[in-house]
Amino acid sequence: MKFDRRSALLAALAAPLAAKAQTAPPHGDKPVPAGLVDPTETIDLWPKGVPGKPANLPVEKVLERSTDAALTDRSVSGVANPRMAVFRPRAANGASVLIMPGGGYSRIVLDHEGYVLARWLAAQGFAAYVLFYRLPGDGWAAGPDVALSDAQRAMRLIRARALRDGLDPERVAAIGFSAGGHLCADLATRHATTTYKPVDAADKLGARPFVAAPIYPVISMSAPTAHMGSREKLIGKEASPALEAAHSPHLNVSETTPPCFLCHAEDDATVPVENTLLLRAALRAAGIPVETHLFTAGGHGFGMTKAAGKPAGVWPELFLTWVRSQGLA
């Protein structure tokens, strides 16, 4: 991808500095386990007002699902002010990663598909941004494109701030899990689709990831392969075949889709492994470089922590090796 550095410089000069008014990251009442930290820096995506607000704004709620005092497993629903939680590396390699946790498009898993990965990536030298995106069932005017709007905007803001933050505006990767994997694949295949009206200079920048990693992703919106819960939240129970196709990333792969890293467990009983296979086949047919890892065991939603001792537990190191081979770091 040839990046327009002049546009990035102009966007950097126009982009507002992080302000005290930034919305705090989601947090629960349970203390974070010893030795870990939650982010203190956030970046609101829409400082001039979130577009397409519903008549009744959703109310953000954080649910702690873990009963283990040494483990947090929080989820967030009702995101009304989409934002990124930022994890800065001590020794930056210049690259950034936008993280899109899953949650079936009804919630966003905060810890094992978000903060845990962000801490690990920051330790490897990456600037990590965990995206809290709006959910399509909350009545936003953009409908099934609302999460993609936030992902596109997040990519552009990362790039607009990159030069000022000592980062490379070109080397921005995207990774997502389950429904967040769908969002990641949607961003990879529809990064240039207009889903909102430009609001500032950042929106002149591209939203195409340098590389993308949909992990155990929801891909197809058509039965029998679709994860029906995500499908219902995204496009509704009565969605037409045309609407299904419009939101099935494997049907939207093009020559501008970035190289992709895919992994899935064969024993995933929630999102069938065929979702990853459909995306892989479409990428290969379009001549897009793709690395694919299928594991015998790991189940669904293993993230960074839930596949320990299982074959799928090696995926982070495989991902790191691959992104280095692609020139991300």
Specify if 119 maps to a domain.
Answer: yes
Domain total for the chain? 1
Q: Considering the domain boundaries, does residue 147 fall inside one?
A: yes
Burial 267-300, CB ≥16 within 10 A → b, else e: ebeebbbebbbbbbebbeeeebebbebbbeebbb
Residue ranges making up the domain that contains 239 = 39-49+59-325
Distance between CA atoms of residues 24 and 257, nearest Å: 33
Q: How far apart (Å, rounded) are the C-alpha atoms in residues 89 and 93?
A: 8
Instruction: Concatenate the DSSP letters of all residues of 113-148 into one string.
Output: IIIHHHHHHHHTT-EEEEEEPPPGGG--TTGGGHHH
Token code pair at residue 192 = 């240039």
Q: From edge to edge, which strands make up the β-sheet containing 61-64?
A: 61-64, 74-77, 108-109
In contact, 169 and 205? CB cutoff 8 Å: yes
Question: Residue 77: phi, psi to the nearest 5?
Answer: -130, 165
**Is residue 295 one of the residues assigned to a domain?**
yes
Please compute the mean of the pLDDT values over residues 240-248 and round it to a whole number.
97
15 assigned to some structural domain: no
pLDDT at 16 over 60: no
**pTM value?**
0.94
For residue 206, the 8-state DSSP code is: -
Pairing of strands 127-132, 83-87: antiparallel
Q: Band of the pLDDT at 244, cuts 50, 70, 90? A: very high
- Within 8 A by CB and 6+ apart from 16, the residues are 47
Averaged pLDDT, 153-157: 98
Q: Is residue 31 part of a domain?
A: no
Residue 277 lies in a domain: yes
In a domain, 223, yes or no: yes
Give the pLDDT band of residue 1 (cuts 50, 70, 90). very low
What CATH number should be reported for the domain holding residue 149? Answer: 3.40.50.1820
Domain contains 8:
no
Report the alpha-carbon distance of residue 150 to residue 315 in Å, rounded. Answer: 27
For the stretch 17-54, pLDDT in tens is 444 468 988 877 777 777 787 888 999 999 999 999 99
